[in-house]
Amino acid sequence: MVTCQNVMEVMERIAPKRLAEDWDNPGLLVGSPAQKVTRILVCLDVSDAVLERAKTEGAELIVSHHPLIFRGLKKLRTDTPLGARLQSLLKDDIAVLAAHTNLDSAKGGVNDVLAKAIGLTKIEGFLPAEDGELAGLGRVGRLEAPEPIEAFAERVKAALPVAHIRLVKAGERPVQKVALCSGSGAEFIERAAFLGADAYVTGDVKYHDAQHATELGLHVIDGGHFGTEFPVVRALTGRLRQELPGIEVLEDTASQDFFTVL
């Protein structure tokens, strides 16, 4: 019999909790380690649609990237979206396990998936770790050959599950060395420039972040928070299928970005 504890141990190998940022909240957030698991649903967010699919398909465990419970709860009101979702999870005995910044930083995690999707090689972490793991929330890699920023931007767009991207063009500098941080990584723009990157791929870039990047001579591609992270759902689903051959692991393919462009 496979339990949540067994899945937690597998996830610890995939994305060790020691790699999580201090402010993060990964781990088992709903349910008991002793809970029996025969079917898992992997997702980016524990949305109402994801919860309904877990119920319909009999998944006893949801493994998500974003923590369902992020900050401390002072009350549990079931007339709020989060409270109603937690009530439903408990009522239907569905556990929730999150791997957030630990999965961002882990080897083979969110940032590595993004780096490979956009064609980077010689991938390194922003900060190499002593034990050989890639550490930190970003990556640096190289394209096989330099290319114009417009061509690279099209490459990124084609690789991500998005209808659009935003390009911050800093002159005519060709792109070969690329830094990236999945999700929301504008805080690392200076780090990317310091490392000599020609372009930086991330999400949630604000106006003054873009202004600063152009002053540093760094192209920036904003692929969106969803776009730069959602590809890990498929990768993690495949990894869990390998690690748990007796368990059915379902992949959320229906979720979409909240943003559309009119």
Question: Does the pLDDT of residue 69 top 60, yes or no?
Answer: yes
Each residue's pLDDT tens digit, 139-185:
999 999 999 999 999 999 999 999 999 999 999 999 999 999 999 99
pTM of the entire predicted model: 0.94
Each residue's pLDDT tens digit, 86-145:
999 999 999 999 999 999 999 999 999 999 999 999 999 876 555 555 567 899 999 999
| DSSP, residue by residue, 185-250 | -GGGHHHHHHTT-SEEEES---HHHHHHHHHTT-EEEE--HHHHHTHHHHHHHHHHHHH-TTSEEE
Question: Does the pLDDT of residue 59 top 60, yes or no?
Answer: yes
What is the set of domains in the chain, with CATH numbers? Answer: 4-100 (3.40.1390.30), 107-228 (3.40.1390.30)
Angle between helical axes of 231-243 and 4-14 (0-180°, round to 10): 120
